[in-house]
Amino acid sequence: MKYLVTDTETNDLCFSDELEQLRDAVVISIFTWRRSNDGDLPADAFRWGWWSDTYNNFRIGSRLYLLHREKISEALLQKIDSIVAEALQWMIDDDVVSEVLINSQRIGVGTIQTSITIIRNSETLLTLDFDNIWKQYE
């Protein structure tokens, strides 16, 4: 399905592919820095994240950046899945999709791959594989 949208540069009407919009929404939701939660960092630490999260109840992005110093373990894979699910929950809440499946796995020595499957009405709309969602810093 294509949507009629306005090109912001030319003000012309054009069509945008729904799958392209979903892909963009997933990427923005995962790779934008959501403001950290109260317990994520020491009380005196700077709370990174998008400044607007301070002033509203709707948070954009994920907290993946908080994991950059952790060692790869099964617990880290579960944290990544949980944080990605949190970042994409709005898609379910707003009835954009009916289900989001997330699976993270270790690839090689210091890299994690995360696969995200977007489902609406029992139909798989989109599967995205992020081959380097997290890389161990050396």
Closest CA to 114 of 61, 57, 76, 69: 76
Task: Note the pTM of the prediction, 2 decimals.
Answer: 0.79
| Per-residue pLDDT reduced to its tens digit, 81-136 | 999 999 999 999 999 999 999 999 998 888 899 999 999 988 888 899 998 776 65
Q: Which domains are seen in the chain, by residue range?
A: 2-135 (3.10.450)
Closest CA to 67 of 126, 108, 114, 127: 114
| Per-residue pLDDT reduced to its tens digit, 32-91 | 888 777 767 666 666 676 766 667 677 788 988 888 888 889 999 999 999 999 999 999
